[in-house]
Structure 1
Amino acid sequence: MAEYDYEDLGFFNASNNSSQRHQEFLHFSKFFLPCMYVGVFVCGLVGNSLVLVIYIFYQKLKSLTDVFLMNLPLADLVFVCTLPFWAYAGFHEWVFGNIMCKVLLGIYTLNFYTSMLILTCITLDRFIAVVRATKTYNHQAKRMAWGKAICLSIWMVSLLVSLPQIIYGNVLYFDKPVCGYQNQAIFTMVLATQMTLGFFLPLLAMIVCYSVIIKTLLQARASKKHKSLKIIFLVVAVFLLTQTPFNLVKLIRSTSWEYHTMTSFYYAITVTEAIAYLRACLNPVLYAFVGLKFRKNFWKLAKDIGCLDVSRQRKSSEDTSRTASASHNVEATSMFQL
């Protein structure tokens, strides 16, 4: 984003690397990041919009998890809607003015924090649901009320920690107009907050909670525990694979200033940033589409909007199977299994 793409454009003029490598990097970043932004925007827009529509029109909010899953695609959706602006600015220059610079920096950061904090709450909710299952069932109504209050608090806290971007965000002029902030103290504070709320807090919650959850599921005699374990490992693996590289690069960059003169390190920042933003596309799959109830509602939506004629084909196939089974029970059974 702005603070990583444009903040140190001046370094290219003072670097010890060859000017040719700098030009190659500028050419690479000019096309790579905008293309990634557009790709994440399209996939994230479709996926998160589907999740929101299904939760609003087809799936009632019956549990605390549903409340969190309702807010997660909303946060991701607003996040991805800022990406076309950054894609255009990366490919050309910032042409949207100073006020839009402040607004887009604020919206981007607001929903970045909101999304990551909601992921943390989903982790804690799953921990409570598995480890304290009986008490959770007995206090479902109270947990729903708490969940709505927690979501409201998350949005308020995210807005609060986004104020530095809104206040200090400005259009800066290097070789071309860019949106960012030049104050190094503000940049350090923003980076520290992002690392804490956007990575270390969700990572700590996942490590602690999912460790206990895995231990509890292994001790239980539930028939679905292996499926639950697979989903848990998938959630943790995706989070680590998408978020760890970018945050590690940011941490190194903030503590080792000699890397500012290395073009290869800026390649690392650019690529890992693009990977980190893939979470906005993967969240709908991980936290919604894995649910059986959600998948059923998805097929209902597809049927209602006329994109799917599977239900008619399925009904016709079932009628055919019933007719065939009257005279050829063995063959019908075999076809049904196929």
Structure 2
Amino acid sequence: MDEEYEDPGFFSTANDSRQEHHQFLAFKRLFLPSIYVVVFICGLLGNSLVLAVYIFYQKLKSVTDLFLMSLPLADLVFVCTLPFWTYASIHEWVFGKYTCKILLGVYTLNFYTSMLTLTCITMDRFIAVVQATKAHNQQAKRMFWGKVICWAIWVTSLLVSLPQIIYGNVSSLDKAVCSYHDNEIPTAVLATQLTLGFFLPLLAMVVCYSIIIKTLLHARGFQKHKSLKIIFLVVGVFLLTQVPFNLVKLVRSTHWEYHAMTSFQYAVIVTEALAYLRACLNPVLYAFVGLKFRKNFWKLVKDVGCLPYLGFSSQWKSEETSKMSSASHNVEATSMFQL
């Protein structure tokens, strides 16, 4: 929620520069609310469906289920803060100082919870594929440590989010904004946040998925190629949504002169909005690709009476059931997405 760049004092008083700045503010007032609304609607719907399936239909029988329950919960709490930011981006911040601190803290808490959970999902899939037999034999022990890790993720994320809570405040610029300034937070804290929020998940994906790909290439079965495609999709989406914004954050925290450049502020806005899309894409990438989850999802759709209105014929449902049955009988131990 980067609002600090609205200070007109950062910009040149030349007519061209002032005009460019006003054009940027007009773009931001239109672009940000649009992104917030899209992410809120899609993220609320997708993550709520995932939670509903796990709560009512899919018991938490594995470590994977634990992480896939924690991930949409974190994303759901994040998207619930977006209506406040939507109103503030259109008008100004009217919710008070303490609400500002709480929402900045909630936003940051759930960002790091989500990213650390993605890291754990990656490592869990690595163990499930590369050490499949060992993972199966130690299922009870892994469940215990999975619960411990889930709690540790939330506590760690809360601690890492404290600077945003402490330094968050309402400032009066051209309008009242809720923000915090990077230059108020110690460099070591910013480095820790960047490590947990980007470099650690990226390192986990590169190392674990590289070994998983090597393992799958030596495996047999129809699931191999599908699993490889999903791996490339997961890594590709992560890089596309997270790399640009984190690079911009890194530049902003090390080169203060960029704060005075309107073009750089465009980069901040666009890359941050791109990073928010993870809240919409996570349910698809980490839950709906699982055959077991999809089966339980269709049970939910059927039980709430939506299936006839969606135009699905009985023939299509029988074909889908046949595919799931075939997949469950042919899947190998090295398949990572039979969740």
When normalised by structure 2's length, the TM-score is 0.88
Contact 1:12/1:22, CA 8 A, preserved across alignment:
no
Tell me the C-alpha RMSD between the 2 structures: 2.0
Aligned to 1:66: 65
The residue that corresponds to 1:314 in the other structure is 314
* Structure 1 Cα separation of the partners of residues 315 and 106 of structure 2: 47
* 1:154 match: secondary structure: helix
Whether contact under 8 Å (1:130, 1:216) holds in the other structure is yes
Residue matched to 1:260: 259
Which whole-Å CA distance do the structure 1 matches of 2:313 and 2:18 have between them? 62
**Is the CA contact 2:47–2:76 (under 8 Å) kept in the aligned structure 1?**
yes
Name the aligned partner's letter for residue 85 of structure 2. Answer: W
Equivalent pair of 1:75/1:115 in contact (CA under 8 Å): yes
Give the 3 Å change call, closer, same or farther, for CA 186–312 of structure 1 in structure 2: closer
1:9 and 2:7 are equivalent in the alignment: yes
Distance 1:121 1:317 in 2: 34
Moved over 6 A (4+): 315-318
CA-CA distance at 1:101 after TM superposition: 0.6
Whole-angstrom distance in 2 between the partners of 1:62 and 1:182:
43
Q: CA deviation at 1:181?
A: 2.5
Partner residue in 1 for 2:102: 103
1:188 CA displacement = 4.5
How far apart are the structure 1 equivalents of 2:247 and 2:47?
A: 27
1:38 equivalent to 2:37? Answer yes
SS of corresponding position for 2:185: helix
Q: CA 1:85–1:43 in 2, change beyond 3 Å: closer, same or farther?
A: same
- Contact 1:15 1:261 survives alignment (8 Å): no
Identity %: 72
Which residue is equivalent to 2:131? 132
CA contact under 8 A between 2:12 and 2:18: conserved in structure 1? no
SS at match of 1:59: coil
Q: Which whole-Å CA distance do the structure 1 matches of 2:313 and 2:260 have between them? A: 62
Report the secondary structure of 1:179's partner residue: strand
1:19-76 deviations in Å (ceiling 9; x for gaps)? 1100000000011011101110110000000000000001111111011000000000
Quick one: distance in 1 between partners of 2:298 and 2:133? 32
Note closer, same or farther for the CA distance 1:15–1:283 as it changes in structure 2 (3 Å cut): farther
1:56–1:220 distance in 2 versus 1, CA, 3 Å: same
CA 1:224–1:15: 2 relative to 1, 3 Å: farther
> What's the CA shift for 1:112?
0.5
User: Whose Rg is larger?
Assistant: 1
State the alpha-carbon separation in 2 of the partners of residues 285 and 65 from structure 1. Answer: 15
Q: Distance in 1 between matches of 2:186 and 2:103?
A: 17
The Cα offsets for residues 92-122 of structure 1, whole Å up to 9 and x where unpaired, read as 1000001101110111111000000000000
Q: Within 2, Cα distance between the matches of 1:317 and 1:207?
A: 37
Instruction: Give the CA deviation at 1:266.
Output: 0.9
TM-superposed deviation, 1:231: 0.8
Look up the equivalent residue of 1:42 and give its one-letter code.
I
SS at match of 2:144: helix
Decide whether the 8 Å contact of 1:11 with 1:260 is kept in 2. Answer: no
TM-score (norm: length of structure 1): 0.88
SS at 2:195 equivalent: helix
Contact 1:48 1:284 in 2 (8 A): yes
- Determine helix, strand or coil for the equivalent of 1:171: strand
Contact 2:5–2:265 (CA<8 Å) still a contact in 1?
A: no
Match for residue 144 of structure 1?
143
Relative to 1, partners in 2 of residues 1:314 and 1:93: Cα closer, same or farther, differing over 3 Å? same
Change beyond 3 A, Cα 1:138–1:242: same
AA partner of residue 141 (structure 2): K
Tell whether the 8 Å contact from 1:242 to 1:278 is kept in structure 2 after alignment.
yes
Q: Is the 8 A contact 1:44 1:76 kept in 2?
A: yes
- Assess if the C-alpha contact under 8 Å between 2:11 and 2:260 holds in 1: no
Structure 2: 5+ residue stretches without partners: 319-339
Deviation sequence 1:128-155 (CA, Å, 0-9, x none): 1111111000001111111011000100
Match of 2:166 in 1: 167
Q: Does 1:56 align with 2:55?
A: yes
Q: d(CA) in 2 for partners of 1:111 and 1:187?
A: 21
* C-alpha distance in 2 between matches for 1:97 and 1:317: 52
> CA separation in 1, counterparts of 2:303 and 2:18?
57
Q: How many residue pairs end up in the alignment?
A: 316
1:241 aligned partner, one-letter code: L
Q: Secondary structure at the match of 2:222?
A: coil
Any unmatched runs of 5+ in structure 1?
319-338
CA distance in 2, matches of 1:65, 1:202: 17
Q: Which amino acid aligns with 1:255?
A: T
Note the C-alpha offset of 1:305. Answer: 1.1
> Partner of 2:24 in structure 1?
25
CA 75–15 in structure 1, closer or farther in 2 if over 3 Å, else same: farther
Q: How does 1:236-315 map to 2 (within 5 A)?
A: 236-309=235-308, 313-314=313-314
* Match in the other structure for 1:228: 227
Q: Take 2:182 and 2:75, find their aligned partners in 1: how far apart are those partners? A: 28
State the one-letter code of the partner of 1:196.
T
- Residues 4, 180 of structure 2: 8 Å contact kept: no
> Are the aligned partners of 2:3 and 2:179 in contact in 1 as well (CA < 8 Å)?
no
Distance (Å, rounded) in 2 between the aligned partners of 1:8 and 1:186: 19
User: Partner letter of residue 25 of structure 1?
Assistant: F
Deviation of 1:162 after TM superposition, in Å, equals: 1.0
1:172–1:178 CA contact under 8 A, matched in 2: yes
Instruction: Give SS of 2:61's match.
Output: coil
